[in-house]
């Protein structure tokens, strides 16, 4: 909601919807901001799917999470993600990670 005036945002309510969105050839996804705690398929399961199908090359992913355990943060940084933004976050922090993620798409 913080950035919906500046970007067209597609919201997925669960991990399966994230995967469906990237498999839709008509989508114009430039970056993904993935929550680790989602129903149906967790963020970690989505990251595993991206890893198995080499999707990090096509879609830059940043993780947004309320998870603050060292184990979870350490685990998530083993994936080819752009960055991690921990909740709660400021509008400025959100803008920074969006910019960084979209720049990764341009490379």
Q: What is the pLDDT of residues 9-50, one digit of tens each?
A: 888 999 999 999 999 866 688 999 999 999 999 999 999 999
At 1 the pLDDT is 65
Structure tokens at 29: 């996804």
Are the C-beta atoms of residues 62 and 33 closer than 8 Å to each other? Answer: yes
**What percent of the chain lies above the pLDDT cut of 90?**
52
pLDDT of 40 reads: 94
User: DSSP class of residue 50?
Assistant: H
- For residue 2, the 8-state DSSP code is T
Name the token pair of 52.
């198995």
Count of CB atoms within 10 A of residue 40's CB?
Answer: 13
Between helix 15-23 and helix 43-52 the angle, nearest 10°, is: 30
What residue has token string 């469906």? Answer: 20
In this prediction, residue 35 carries a pLDDT of 92
pLDDT of residue 107 exceeding 70, the answer is no
Average pLDDT, the chain: 88
């Amino acid at each position: 909601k913080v950035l919906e005036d500046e970007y067209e945002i597609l919201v997925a309510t669960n991990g399966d919807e994230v995967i469906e969105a990237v498999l839709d050839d008509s989508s114009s996804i430039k970056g993904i901001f993935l929550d680790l705690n989602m129903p149906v398929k967790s963020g970690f399961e989505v990251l595993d799917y991206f890893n198995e199908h080499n999707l990090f090359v096509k879609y830059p992913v940043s993780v947004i999470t309320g998870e603050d355990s060292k184990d979870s943060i350490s685990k998530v940084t083993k994936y080819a993600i752009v960055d991690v933004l921990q909740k709660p976050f400021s509008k400025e922090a959100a803008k920074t990670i969006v910019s960084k993620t979209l720049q990764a798409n341009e490379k």
